Structure 1
Amino acid sequence: MKKKFSTMKLQNRFLLILLLALTISATLFELLWLNKWALVNWTGNFEILQSQIDDEDFWTKLDKTAQNLSLPESSDDEAASKAIKPLLDLADKYTSIYLYEQEDGLYITGQYAKIMDEKHSGFRTFFDLGYRLTDGEGEDFRQGYLQFQNGKAQVVVVNYQRALFIYPYMFLSLLLSVLVFLGIVLFFMNRKMREVLALEQEILLMSTGDLTHPVPQYSKDEIGILANELNHLRISLNENIVREQESRKANQDLITALSHDLRTPLTILTGYLEVLRLGRTPEKQADYLDRCLKKASDIKELTDQMFSYALVSEEQETPDMSWLSTDYIFQCIQENCDFISLAGFTTNVKIPEVTGILLSDKTMINRIFTNLFSNILKYGDKGTPVIVRSSVRKQRFTVTVSNAIKQEHSDVGSSNIGLRNVQRMMQMMDGEMLLTKKTSSDSPGNHNISQNTSSAFASENVSGVFEVTLWFPLR
C-alpha cells in the first residue's frame, strides 16, 4: 500500500490526504461529542453541570409557594398573574418557569430566564449559535404539577446553565478536529515544500559549478521525477565537463607534442639555410638542399597530422547528403589511382559493370579516398601493385583497397588519424569500414605473405598488407 501510494501523482496524493484528514477529524469530533458525558464522569467535575433544575430544594419551594397562591383563570388575567409572581421569582437568571392548564395544556403565565433578555445579548448570541449547531443540547427542561389554592396546573422549568459547558465543549471539540485536519494536511504540504526547497538548493548548488553532490531521491510523484531527472542532468553535465576537460587536455598535449616535433626540423632547416646563405661550403650545397627538402617534407607531414586530427575532433560536422551513382565513386577511385601512378605505383583496379544509386556526401567521399590513397603514398611499397576491387550486391556497394607496407615502416607507430577520419565519415553516411592488417611470417628467411593475402604482395621488402573495406548502402 505504501509503495502504491508513493507512485501516485501529487494531485491524487493530495486529494487522498485531504479525504483521510477529513475522515479522521470528523471521526474525532464525533467521538468527542458522543462521549461528552463520559468525559465529565471521568473527570468527576459534575459541579459544572449542576443547575437549579437539579436542586430538590428548588422544587420543594415551588410546591410550598404554589399552595399559598391562586392560579390565574387565563393568561389575560393580569392581576392574578402579578399575584403569582413570587412563585416565578424563585427561578434564577438561567431558569425559565411556565404554567399550563392541566386539562387542555393552554398557557397561563410564565417568566423567561433573565440571562436571555436584552441586557445579556452576548450570552443570547452565544446560545443561539450553539443551539443551532447542537440541535438544542444546551437546553435542559423538566415538567411536573403544582397544587394551587384554586386548582392544579402543569409547570415546565427550562434551564440554560448547561450551555456554559456544552457549547464551549462543542467549540473546543470542533477546534481540535479542525487542528487535526489542518495538521495532517499541513504536514503533507510541509514535507513536499521541504522537498521543493531542497531541490532549489541543489539547483543553486549546481549553478555555482558543483556537480558532484548527488540530488536526494524522493517518492515517485512529480517532485520525485523532477529530482531524478535533475540528478541525471547533473551526472550528464558532469560527465560532459569531465569529457571536455579531458579532450582539451588531449588537444593541448597533442599541440605541445606536435609543436615540439615541428621545432626540431625547423631548427635543423634553419641551420642548413644559414649555411647555404653564407656559401661557406659550395661543394656540399646540393647535399644541404636535399636535406632541406627532406626537413620541409617532415614539416608538411606533421602539419598534415594536425589538420587530420582537427578533422577527427570536429563534432559539429554534418554530411550534405545527395543522390549519387556508384559511377561517381568509380571516378574518385580512378583519379586517385592515376595520381599514385605518377608517383611510381602500379594499380590493379576491377570495377563491375553493374551500377547503383546511393545517398551520400560528395565532399566526404573525396576526402575518404584521398585519406586512403595518401596512406598508400606514405607507407605503401611501390614494388607491389595496389589492388582495388568493388562489387554491387544485396543493396550494398563494396569497395576494397589493399596495399603492401614497406619494410622500413613496419615498426613505425601511427595514430591512424586518417583511418579514424575515414571511419567517422562512413558512419555519418550510414556506411561501414573494416580494416584488416595481414602480416608476413616471422620465420627467418621467409618473406611470404600469409594465406589470406594475395600472392601479388609476396616481396622481400613487404612487411604486411593493409586491406580497407568500405560498405555503402544502396537505395
Structure 2
Amino acid sequence: MIKHFFNKLSIQISAIIILFGALGMTVFCFLYSYREDFFEFSQEMGIISENTEAYAINIENQLIDNNVSINDVDTIDSILGISEIYSVNLYNKADNLSITGSYATMLDNLLVGYTVYDTDAIYNGDVYHTDIELEDGTIEMYVYSYAIAKMVVPYLVFSIIIALLIFLIPTFLFIKRKVHHIENLKNDVTYLSQGDLNHPISINSNDEIGELSHQINNLRLILKDNFATEEANRKANYDLVTALSHDLRTPLTSLMGYLDIIRLKKYKNEDQYNLYLNNSIDKVNQINELANKMFEYFLVFSKEQDTELTKMSLGVIYEYIIENIGVLEGHGFIINKNLKPTNSFIRGNINLIKRIINNIFSNLLKYAENNETVHISMISDENNLKLVFKNKKKYSTNYIESNQIGLKSVQQMLKIHDGTFMIVDNEDNFTVTITIPLIK
C-alpha cells in the first residue's frame, strides 16, 4: 500500500520539492550562521584591500592645510565628506566632547546592516586613532573601516545560489528523467500508430507513466492478437467459402443434368421421369441445406461480440434435450440416456443454446445409424456442464455435409459462451463433447 502510494508521480514530485527545498534551505541557514567565519577568513586572506591609515592622513592633511578651526563644523564636515566604507569620529581633546563625524554609507543598506549588525569581524575591524593639532586646539580622530562589508552581498548571493542549486539540480534531473520516459513512450506509440505491432512499449518506471506504458503495451498485444485472429478467421472463412462453392457445384451440376433430361424429354418412361424429378428435388434440398448452414455460420460469427448472455438454469437445457430425444425416438432411434440435471446455472443465450442442441440432434438424425444405440449424457460438476453425444455412423446417405459447417457453427456459438467443443471421429463412431462453465 505504501509502495503504491509513493509510485504516484504527484507524490514523487512533491517529495522531491519538499526534500531538496528543505535541504537547500538548511544549507543556506548553515552558510548564513557561519558568515562571520567567512568574513574573518576574508580579512586574513586580504581578499578586500583597505588602507585606513592613508584615508585618515588625507583627512588630517586637509584639516591642517585649510587652517580649520575646531568650531568650524561645516568646513570639517565638507572635508570628511561621505565614504562608503569608512566612519570617522572627531572629539575635542580638551573636554572629550564630540565635534562631528561621518558614517559609512554601506551600513545604511538594510540587507548589509541586518547581516552584519552582530558580526564582530566587521564591527571590530581596523580602527585608526590619531591626534590632530589645530591652531585653536587638539582634535582626536577615530577612523573605522568597514571594508569587509563589501563581501556581505556577494556572500549572500553565493549562499542563495548554492541553496538554489541544491534544490534545482535534483528537481531538474528528476523532471528530465520523467520527460525522457514520456519521449520514449511517444516514440513507441509512433511505431504503434504506423502499424508496427511487434515493437514493444518500454516500461521504465512504476508511476503513472509506467502504468500508461503498461496499458498501451497491453493494448498493443490485444490488437496484435485480434489482428492475428481476424486474419486467421478471414482465411478460414475464405477457405470455407471456397470449399462450399465446390460442394454446391457438385449438386448443381447433377441438378442441371437431371433438368436437361426432363426438359429435353430424354427419359424412357414415367418411372424414369419420376426418378429424375425426385433426384432433382433431392439436389435442391442439398443446396438449400448447405446455403442455410453457411448463412447460420456467418450470422453467428458476425454477431459474436453483440450476443447478450444472461443467467440460465440447467433445467431449461435438460427439458430441451428431452424434447429432442423424443423426436429421435419417434424416428426409431434407440437412446441410452444419462441425464443428471442440477440446480446450477450458466451464462448463456437461450436462442444460441437451442441452436447448438438443434444442430447436434439434426446431425444425429441424418448421420447416426438408427439401428445402433445413441448415447446421450448430461452431467455437471462444481465448475462445468458437460454434454456428450456418441453414435455409430451411417455408411450410406444421400446427404454429405462437407466441411462440417453445422458443427463449425456449434463451435462458434460455444465460443461465445466461453465453452469448449471436441469431436472424436473415427471409422465407425462419432462423438461430440460440449463443455460450458457454470456460474456461482
After TM superposition, is the score higher than 0.5?
yes
Q: Could you tell me which residue of structure 2 aligns to residue 250 of structure 1?
A: 236
Pick from 221, 232, 247: which aligns with 2:207? 221
Letter in 1 for 2:308: T
Letter in 2 for 1:243: T
**DSSP-derived class of the 1:406 partner:** coil
Shift of residue 11 of structure 1? 2.8
Shift of residue 220 of structure 1? 1.1
Percentage identity across aligned positions?
26
Q: Could you tell me which residue of structure 1 aligns to residue 101 of structure 2?
A: 110
For 1:144 and 1:103, how far apart are their aligned partners in 2?
Answer: 20
Q: Is contact 1:318–1:428 with CA below 8 Å preserved after alignment?
A: no
For 2:214 and 2:154, how far apart are their aligned partners in 1?
Answer: 50
Q: Is contact 1:276–1:285 with CA below 8 Å preserved after alignment?
A: yes
Q: Could you tell me which residue of structure 2 aligns to residue 302 of structure 1?
A: 290
Q: Could you tell me which residue of structure 1 aligns to residue 88 of structure 2?
A: 97
For 2:436 and 2:211, how far apart are their aligned partners in 1?
Answer: 44
Question: Structure 1 residues 349, 472: closer, same or farther in 2, change over 3 A?
Answer: farther
Q: Could you tell me which residue of structure 2 aligns to residue 128 of structure 1?
A: 110
Q: Could you tell me which residue of structure 1 aligns to residue 169 of structure 2?
A: 183
For 2:14 and 2:243, how far apart are their aligned partners in 1?
Answer: 66
Shift of residue 146 of structure 1? 3.9
**DSSP-derived class of the 2:304 partner:** coil
Q: Which moved more, 1:26-35 or 1:203-212?
A: 26-35
For 2:322 and 2:184, how far apart are their aligned partners in 1?
Answer: 64
For 1:197 and 1:399, how far apart are their aligned partners in 2?
Answer: 54
Question: Structure 1 residues 471, 203: closer, same or farther in 2, change over 3 A?
Answer: closer
Shift of residue 288 of structure 1? 2.9
Tell me if 1:230 matches 2:234. Answer: no
Alpha-carbon deviations, 1:184-213, whole Å to 9, x = none? Answer: 322322332232344344445534444333
Shift of residue 263 of structure 1? 2.6
Equivalent residues, number: 421
1:124-273 matches, within 5 Å, as: 127-133=109-115, 135=117, 141-143=125-127, 145-147=129-131, 155-273=141-259
Gaps of 5+ in 1: 73-77, 117-122, 441-462
Q: Could you tell me which residue of structure 1 aligns to residue 429 of structure 2?
A: 464
For 1:392 and 1:90, how far apart are their aligned partners in 2?
Answer: 111
Letter in 1 for 2:181: E
Alpha-carbon deviations, 1:112-133, whole Å to 9, x = none? Answer: 35xx3xxxxxx788x4333334
**DSSP-derived class of the 1:79 partner:** coil
For 2:159 and 2:58, how far apart are their aligned partners in 1?
Answer: 38
Alpha-carbon deviations, 1:102-156, whole Å to 9, x = none? Answer: 999864421235xx3xxxxxx788x433333455769564446544669988754
Q: Could you tell me which residue of structure 2 aligns to residue 277 of structure 1?
A: 263
Pick from 323, 342, 352: which aligns with 1:332? 323
For 1:235 and 1:282, how far apart are their aligned partners in 2?
Answer: 68
Letter in 2 for 1:13: Q
Q: Is contact 1:435–1:467 with CA below 8 Å preserved after alignment?
A: yes
For 2:361 and 2:85, how far apart are their aligned partners in 1?
Answer: 117
Tell me if 1:347 matches 2:334. Answer: yes
Tell me if 1:318 matches 2:317. Answer: no
Gaps of 5+ in 2: none
Question: Structure 1 residues 266, 35: closer, same or farther in 2, change over 3 A?
Answer: farther
Q: CA RMSD in A?
A: 5.0
Tell me if 1:79 matches 2:71. Answer: yes
Shift of residue 293 of structure 1? 3.5
For 1:305 and 1:420, how far apart are their aligned partners in 2?
Answer: 10
Q: Is contact 2:300–2:413 with CA below 8 Å preserved after alignment?
A: no
Tell me if 1:27 matches 2:27. Answer: yes
Letter in 2 for 1:403: N
Q: Which moved more, 1:390-399 or 1:12-21?
A: 390-399
Question: Structure 1 residues 176, 97: closer, same or farther in 2, change over 3 A?
Answer: same
Letter in 1 for 2:218: H
Question: Structure 1 residues 383, 40: closer, same or farther in 2, change over 3 A?
Answer: farther
Shift of residue 97 of structure 1? 0.5
**DSSP-derived class of the 1:157 partner:** strand
**DSSP-derived class of the 1:386 partner:** strand
User: TM-score, normalising length from structure 2?
Assistant: 0.72
For 2:381 and 2:198, how far apart are their aligned partners in 1?
Answer: 52
Question: Structure 1 residues 211, 394: closer, same or farther in 2, change over 3 A?
Answer: closer
For 1:467 and 1:92, how far apart are their aligned partners in 2?
Answer: 111
For 2:413 and 2:262, how far apart are their aligned partners in 1?
Answer: 45
Shift of residue 306 of structure 1? 1.6
For 1:205 and 1:394, how far apart are their aligned partners in 2?
Answer: 46
Pick from 348, 354, 360: which aligns with 1:366? 354
Q: Is contact 2:421–2:433 with CA below 8 Å preserved after alignment?
A: yes
For 2:43 and 2:126, how far apart are their aligned partners in 1?
Answer: 21
Q: Is contact 2:341–2:380 with CA below 8 Å preserved after alignment?
A: yes
Q: Could you tell me which residue of structure 2 aligns to residue 452 of structure 1?
A: none
Question: Structure 1 residues 431, 375: closer, same or farther in 2, change over 3 A?
Answer: same
Question: Structure 1 residues 290, 40: closer, same or farther in 2, change over 3 A?
Answer: farther
**DSSP-derived class of the 2:71 partner:** helix
1:8-47 matches, within 5 Å, as: 8-18=7-17, 19-20=19-20, 23=23, 27=27, 35=38, 46=46
Alpha-carbon deviations, 1:336-366, whole Å to 9, x = none? Answer: 2255x1xxx33246588x9865657653453
**DSSP-derived class of the 1:232 partner:** helix
Question: Structure 1 residues 105, 219: closer, same or farther in 2, change over 3 A?
Answer: farther
Pick from 278, 281, 284: which aligns with 1:293? 281
Q: Could you tell me which residue of structure 2 aligns to residue 49 of structure 1?
A: 48
1:404-423 matches, within 5 Å, as: 404-407=392-395, 418-419=406-407, 421-422=409-410
Q: Which moved more, 1:263-272 or 1:418-427?
A: 418-427
For 1:306 and 1:219, how far apart are their aligned partners in 2?
Answer: 51
Question: Structure 1 residues 15, 402: closer, same or farther in 2, change over 3 A?
Answer: closer
Q: Could you tell me which residue of structure 2 aligns to residue 375 of structure 1?
A: 363
